[in-house]
Structure 1
Amino acid sequence: MMTRREILRHNAWQAVVSLDQALHCLGGLLTSLLLACVPGANMPAVWADETLSSRCWRWHVAGVRHWPCRWLDRLAALFGDREHCRNSYESERTGRQLPPELR
């Protein structure tokens, strides 16, 4: 059973994650709209449940681009969150963002 303080902290974190996911999707939509005007351009496909951090880790591992992952990891390290992008990817891959009854 979570305390009231733990529930408040949990809900605040969920709001931050949902904003991250929304910004990731909106960024993908805007990028696709801009690239729709460029013949032969590779338009990105984004997923509503993926965070930008997770996407950056996938780019890093695939060799697409490394700087977003490095930049986000350095920023998160200032708050004590080491290997932020990899951990975000693992969290989504294992379903840790889901309620316990849906895991």
Structure 2
Amino acid sequence: MWRLYHFTLCPFSRKVRFALAVKGVTHELVQERPWEKRAGFTALNPAGQTPVLQRDTLVLSDSTAILEHIEETLERTPLIGSTPEDRAETRRL
């Protein structure tokens, strides 16, 4: 089961939520308030920042690392295009 620790107003969390939805990944959302520095959350990410994606024993933080992992491990519905122009447009957005 995929679990995303996120803060609703965080744009980086929003980016990961969107990618998971596009890829059709069933996941659990765990609302985090980073300023509370909850011990269980800081054990996953000592920086205390959202988003954090947990999948079995794998824990990823930083939205870019999470998105690259999602793109590389799930072939269905590519997030980034196959041509240089498509990839440039994706990055712009």
Classify the TM-score, shorter chain: under 0.3
Larger radius of gyration: 1
TM-score, structure 1 as length reference: 0.26
Structure with the higher fraction of residues in strand conformation: 2
